[in-house]
Amino acid sequence: MQLIDTHAHVNFNAYKNDGEEVLRRCLETEMFVVNVGSQFSTSQRAVEYAHKFENGIFAAVGIHPVHLKKGKFTHVDPEELTEEEIPTTGEQFDQQKYLELARDEKVVAIGEIGLDYHHFEEGDDEEFLKNLQKETLIKFIKLANEVGKPVMLHCWDGYDDLLEILTIHKVNKTGIVHSFIGSYKTANKFIELGYKIGLNGIITYGESYDRLIREIALENIVIETDCPYLTPRPMEKGTRNEPLFVKNVAQKIADIKGISLEQVAETTSQNARLSFGI
Ligand SMILES: [Zn+2]
């Protein structure tokens, strides 16, 4: 049984002492992992990690929308158990730098990129930041089309704007709306445009997403951890998340859809392989 964690951050500092070990454990179970960058430094590190292994570890490169603003943002997990202040450099899109990185054979998607209207803080010029996020997203979409790769989209509180952008600025290889937290109706709009819906530990925290899981076909779902964040249940709260725990996400989908874990693993892995061309 193969599982694919389509969105992990083993390239982040949470694994600076044992990242390779964490990934090796995944490969021992035939699992594949896509490590996702949130700015240039972590994008580069994702690519470096991928090259340490012959196969099975891949990378996505991009700028997470919250990193476009210099300062910090406060990451609060959905259960409000932990709060972390993450410093941001205010990095701006650099075509040449990202084009070079994006062409790497281990890079299977451009991201995470997208819109995040949730993490604005008092004193922020929201209109300015929204426009900056939109303009940057469009630049990355052009880059994705230039290198012929799909996108890995992050979106919080901005699905309508994201849908509009994806409708006007088509991504040839489409991609994944990661950590999806909208309704099944919104999910279907992305599916109609050719996107897959990325589900993670959030769906294990309660019943809020049971309907979504029931309403959308397994053929449109990929699974992820978004580790080190969003540790799925029944893992103990506060445990550092890691790609192997994606099995818990798959199990929840199996339970809700009334199918076997193997079926979820097989279909979501196939979806991921098709999306990433791996
Ligand atoms: Zn992420």
Residue 211 sits in a domain whose CATH number is: 3.20.20.140
What is the DSSP pairing of strand 70-76 with strand 83-89?
Answer: antiparallel
Ligand 1 mean position to 74 CA, how many Å? Answer: 14
Average pLDDT over residues 114-143: 95
Q: Residue 62 has which token pair?
A: 């991009």
Q: How far is the CA of 154 from the centre of ligand 1 (A)?
A: 7
What distance lies between CA 198 and its chain's CA centroid?
A: 7
What's the rounded Cα separation, in Å, for the pair 102 and 145? 11
What's the 178 CA to ligand 1 centre distance in angstroms?
Answer: 8
Task: Encode 120-155: b = buried (16+ Cβ within 10 Å), e = exposed.
Answer: beeeeeeeebbebbbebbebbbebbbeeebbbbbbb
Instruction: Summarize pLDDT for 177-208 with one digit per residue, the tens.
Output: 999 999 999 999 999 999 999 999 999 999 99
Q: Domain range holding 86? A: 4-276
- Per residue in 14-73, pLDDT (tens digit) is 999 999 999 999 999 999 999 999 999 999 999 999 999 999 999 999 999 999 998 777
| Domains held by the chain: number | 1
pLDDT band at 88 (very low <50, low <70, confident <90, very high): confident
- Evaluate if residue 81 carries a pLDDT over 80: no
Kindly indicate the confidence band of residue 79, based on its pLDDT and cuts at 50, 70 and 90: low
Burial class (CB in 10 A: 0-12, 13-18, 19+), 83: exposed
CA 128 to ligand 1 centroid distance, Å: 24
pTM listed for this prediction: 0.95
Compute the distance from residue 8 Cα to the ligand 1 centre, in Å. 7
pLDDT tens profile 236-270: 888 999 999 999 999 999 999 999 999 999 999 99
The average pLDDT across 139-157 equals 98
Separation of CA 244 and ligand 1 centre (Å):
16
CA of 12 to the centre of ligand 1 (A): 10
